[in-house]
Chain A
Amino acid sequence: MKKYLLFVLFLTFHTPIILLAQDQLLQGEVYDKVTHKPLHLATIILMKAEVACNTTIDGVFSLQSPKVDLSDTLWVSCDGYQPAKVPINQFVNNWVISLQKNTLKKRPKSQIKTNNKVELNNLSNERLRHFTGIERWLEPFNYIQLAQKFNAPSVNSKLKKITVQLYISLYQPMHDSCMFRVHVYDMDKSTEGPGAELTEEGILVKSYARINVKVNIPDIHISGKNFFVSIEWLRIPFNRADIQNEIYVPRDRGSFKNKMFKPIIGMSNKKGEFINTWAMNFKHEWQLYTYFVPYLTDFAISAEVEY
């Protein structure tokens, strides 16, 4: 008996433990705290695992993550609502999260008289050849928003029009429609990155297989010279696509297929003097987006300003 026990002990210490990791699914719903209405397109982020998704029209979300750390936090945010943080160890499936509405005052409409018009970061008629918003072999795309910095010719100007150039496959254009949100930000003077939001809510844009997407915006008053226009990716089934990349993995060459979310936005072919691109990561921090440095510097987003 003793011998047998020793043998078992010996085996247990010397057998390599193989853990079969499986994707975990977190499901739940997001509601308004007062009206109990489901919130459409609220963003749910698992902070450490760096995975995100958005709610459907019924306020339902399902987040798939390869690793779930018990010390992780779920960040739930929605435009016009106060964000909530939920520790993952309190999370049970089909969790209901309710958000409190923001009591922000509406910004006054700009009263300034304007004479001149200028289009900043003008997109040329030529189709742009570079792109972003997609997962690469060496760079995963784990950003919520990407923003382009603009420099208006004078202070106190009015933002009239925004145009975004998207990558559309001309081979199968009918499957290349997508949905995204546009935000406008002031410049934060300490970081020189995006600061306070100038749009009350993100502007929802639907594009049906169009290359140049014009965004209808309310008149936005820009007090300083610099401002930012950002694109928010919505991780919903409507935007889903697959990315296939061939990679080298030791011993074996293979390819990986990953879920990705549209839009794929263009990068300007012109190389500017400064880096004007910023990215918001899953911790809601803005940082310079330097993936294209030193070759390219601008996203294919143009803005028309009256001053």
Chain B
Amino acid sequence: MKSICITLLLLSLSLIAFAQQTYIGTVINRQTKAPIPYITIKLTKEKIATAADDKGDFELVSTNGRTNDTLLLSGVGYKAVKVPIQGFINNTKIELIEDAVFLNEVRISSNKRKLIKKELNPFKTSQVTLPEQPFAMMAQAAIKLSSPEIFSLLKTVKINRRIGDYDTYTNTEARFRIHVFDVDSVTGGPGEDIVHQIIEVYDKDKREIEIDLTPYNIVIPGKDFFVGVEWLYISANESISGGLGHEFHGLTYMDYEVLYHPIIHNIRSDKSGQKIHTWYKVAPRLPWEFLGAKGKTFFWNIAISAEIEY
């Protein structure tokens, strides 16, 4: 009886675990079975990383004792591999598949090629619709655009937004930020910010905002890239709308709503969900989410278009 009692007492004490876990392994090429040197091994949630040595051996020490973390192995010329740590067995060999990278030849000629301008994701004003969830209130949203060539120059970005309905929106001023991202190789969503400056836009009362990005000289490294908008929840962007009143105990109360500009329009997409390219973030520290992901019932893109030159 006493022993049960003690066991229960011991059990009820909260355990503070200082678990230290070491991950040891070797990275090899799947086809040649030869070890691959200098591959980066990263624990994605704990945010620690190490590199394999010249024989492909690595050792990574985790200190926080998470059980739901993932090991990410990546390196130049190989496809990235994700291994959940529950499934990881020490002293095993991890195979990576070659991902050929061919660099284009650079041709230098005396004749200057004529530059071509192209508008990506063009839309008509008649196509835009009222912004719906989740664009009503979020931290960031971005649309994936595809250029026909690599190293194209981003010239302008156009945004279509909603202002001045009847008299419901009092303020029309919008202050927001523009971001240009490359494609994250793991998620397929927005990755690193290409521009290392803050592009802040101020617009007084235009429905279609055109932003000239030529002073920033943004060259897109790949073919695909993202153009995104970051909302600023500040007093200058606030607008108020007074809707229908509602009755309560014989009195009519007004309903008000505070909205933050820019209220960006949507462009309807077909219901197959094939043509959805929009990603969004509901809070600054949360990961990007895909609008066309399974289980979501959104069939539109955010009304952002871009002009490139190549």
Contacts and interface: CB of A to CB of B under 8 A. Distances in A.
A243 B245 contact: no
A138 B258 CA distance: 11
A276 to B, nearest CB: 16
A280 to B, nearest CB: 20
A235 B41 CA distance: 60
A244 B139 CA distance: 19
Contact of B255 (A2, A128, A242, A246): A242
B253 A296 contact: no
Given A129-B171, A129-B172, A292-B235, A172 B258 contact: no
Interface in B242-257: 242-246, 251-257
A208 interface: no
A248 B235 contact: no
Contacts of A292: 235-236
Contact of A264 (B234, B244, B251, B256): B256
A130 B255 contact: no
A253 B1 CA distance: 51
Contacts of A137: 233, 258, 260
Interface in A161-201: 167-172, 175-176
Contacts of B173: 129
B137 A296 contact: no
Contacts of B252: 175
Interface stretch (B162-170, B182-190, B217-225): B162-170
Contact of B235 (A167, A246, A250, A295): A295
A6 B11 CA distance: 13
B148 interface: no
A289 B239 CA distance: 19
A131 B170 contact: yes
A151 to B, nearest CB: 24
Given A172-B245, A295-B235, A245 B257 contact: yes
A131 B168 contact: no
A241 B133 CA distance: 25
Given A130-B238, A244-B256, A253-B133, 19 more contacts: A6-B5, A6-B8, A13-B12, A128-B170, A129-B172, A129-B173, A134-B258, A169-B243, A170-B166, A171-B167, A172-B242, A175-B253, A242-B255, A246-B136, A246-B137, A248-B282, A250-B283, A253-B134, A292-B235
Closest 4 CB pairs of A and B: A169-B242, A175-B245, A241-B254, A129-B171
